[in-house]
Amino acid sequence: MNPIQNFWQLFEKENLAFFLLSDLPKEVTLEKLNTLTQAMKEYNKDLGYIIKTGKEKSELIITAHGNPYLFKEVELLVFHAPKLERWKITAFLQPEIDIDAYENGTDKPLEFYGISLRISEIYFLPLEVPGKPHELGIKVLLKNYIVHKDNPRLRDALYVHIEHLIGEKSFANDISFIEIDQLKREDLEDDCVLELYNLKFFIDSYEYD
């Protein structure tokens, strides 16, 4: 049995347990996830997955962690996914559609690698790439950059947030580079500084100017 068949056979066999993941004892949850993670590593150690549980339907997202060189690996794995009644199986993190909580400032902090960040409190400044007018860079401005700047996982945590916000493919294809800096009071008075939750809208507008 090849690694793709092995991964999906395991997921299909245990799909009810994964659907009820939040109701299982912690040790059982860890055991199930570790088994699935090992099956994923046998296919490609650099890919990952995210399980979003729901009441009637849950979602399994296969991710390349923003690495465009692995996109075909993700697409191949999802192409062979079984049809399961309780599951939606998705290739790549998709853009966030509902941004009301960000606009209202009612979003909950998201924590990755011990770093807690709120999308509603993050801003960005578009940066041009010299000599490459069709490429886009951004400077991300964090309210608590001073607190986290020495954490070696800060950039990884921020990348996860942006991938979730604009989608994995857009993150890989539309942004050439990312700088990180402290958000200052005067930045909020600068018309060029925008809320991070508007990044997808900005990218879509920028592409067609």
Q: In the chain, which residues have pLDDT < 70?
A: 207-209
Return the pLDDT at 208: 43
**pLDDT tens per residue across span 146-193:** 999 999 999 988 998 899 899 999 999 999 999 999 999 999 999 999
Cβ–Cβ under 8 Å, residues 196 and 158: no
d(CA 36, CA 21): 13
Return the pLDDT at 207: 54
Q: Which helix (H) or strand (E) holds 51?
A: strand 48-52
Return the pLDDT at 198: 95
Residue 101's alpha-carbon distances to 15, 20, 96, in angstroms, are 31, 27, 11
Residues 61-90, buried b or exposed e (16+ Cβ, 10 A)? bbbbbbeeebbebbeebbeebeebeebebb
Return the pLDDT at 134: 79
